[in-house]
């Protein structure tokens, strides 16, 4: 895939960093979008050779601007990975509206913002790959995560609709639903809670970021050109969606 350009939102940490590593390893020119962690962005650039771009993907204007900058510096966008996400957990009867909106806008609205910025170019070129990172909790729900689960479930409906619109133009749009993966985000979960979660995973362990990145690589390749509008669950058997 030498020369192809890929954008990875939230691409300098966690699952996003592993996706950036995988894509650069296959010869992609990767633009890793980050929100504000400058140290992580620099380390990502040094390690992978990707170029980090700072933008708040919950803001439409910033997404449009960063897409133009990336295209001017790296070339037309071939692949978009919508991976950026945050959590603001809390029971519904205690949740602030700010926590609801922050999660919905960062995890779901960002997918619209970025896709709206790149979709016209992909349609004109009659090719492209869009991969949206959802979550097991968008499939089954989760206590204290009504905002996160709603956003990630919304990503799945968004994926199917955009796939229907885009297939005639040679663009595939798919979603990946990771289960519990060893990242900075899950590292903050209480160990007793994590132990209980692992007991619910038939594989008996948490997933690795590389396992998500491998699926991304497949969906980006030519062999996956007939895979469209699909949801891929990578959760060790914890939740088996039909």
Active site (annotated) includes residue 218: no
Calculate the alpha carbon distances from 155 to 159, 186, 189 in Å: 6, 21, 24
Tokens of 22: 């995988």
* Cα 146 to Cα 95: distance, rounded to the nearest angstrom: 9
The answer to whether 106 and 58 have CB atoms below 8 angstroms apart is yes
What number of other Cβ atoms are within 10 A of residue 124's Cβ?
11
Calculate the alpha carbon distances from 196 to 42, 83, 242 in Å: 36, 26, 25
What number of other Cβ atoms are within 10 A of residue 143's Cβ?
9
The answer to whether 41 and 12 have CB atoms below 8 angstroms apart is yes
- Out of 148, 180, 218, 239, the active site residue is 148
* Cα 188 to Cα 41: distance, rounded to the nearest angstrom: 21
Inter-helix orientation angle 110-125/146-166, to 10°: 10
Which residues have a catalytic role annotated? 148
């Amino acid at each position: 895939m030498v020369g192809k350009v890929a954008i990875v939102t939230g691409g300098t940490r966690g699952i996003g960093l592993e996706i950036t590593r995988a894509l650069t390893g296959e010869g992609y020119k990767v633009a890793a979008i980050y929100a504000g962690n400058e140290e992580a962005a620099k380390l990502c650039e040094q390690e992978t050779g990707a170029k980090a771009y700072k933008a708040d993907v919950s803001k439409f204007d910033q997404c449009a601007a960063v897409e133009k900058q990336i295209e001017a510096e790296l070339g037309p966008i071939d692949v978009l990975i919508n991976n950026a996400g945050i959590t603001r957990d809390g029971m519904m009867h205690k949740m602030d509206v700010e926590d609801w909106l922050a999660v919905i806008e960062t995890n779901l609205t960002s997918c619209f913002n970025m896709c709206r910025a790149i979709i016209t170019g992909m349609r004109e070129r009659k090719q492209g790959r869009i991969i949206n990172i959802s979550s097991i909790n968008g499939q089954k729900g989760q206590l204290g995560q009504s905002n996160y689960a709603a956003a990630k479930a919304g990503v799945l409906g968004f994926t199917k609709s955009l796939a229907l619109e885009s297939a005639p133009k040679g663009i595939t749009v798919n979603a990946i639903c990771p289960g519990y993966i060893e990242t900075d985000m899950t590292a903050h979960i209480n160990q007793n809670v994590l132990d209980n979660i692992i007991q619910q995973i038939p594989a008996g362990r948490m997933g690795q970021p590389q396992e998500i990145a491998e699926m991304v690589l497949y969906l980006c390749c030519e062999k996956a050109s007939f895979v469209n509008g699909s949801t891929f669950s990578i959760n060790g058997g914890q939740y088996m969606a039909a």
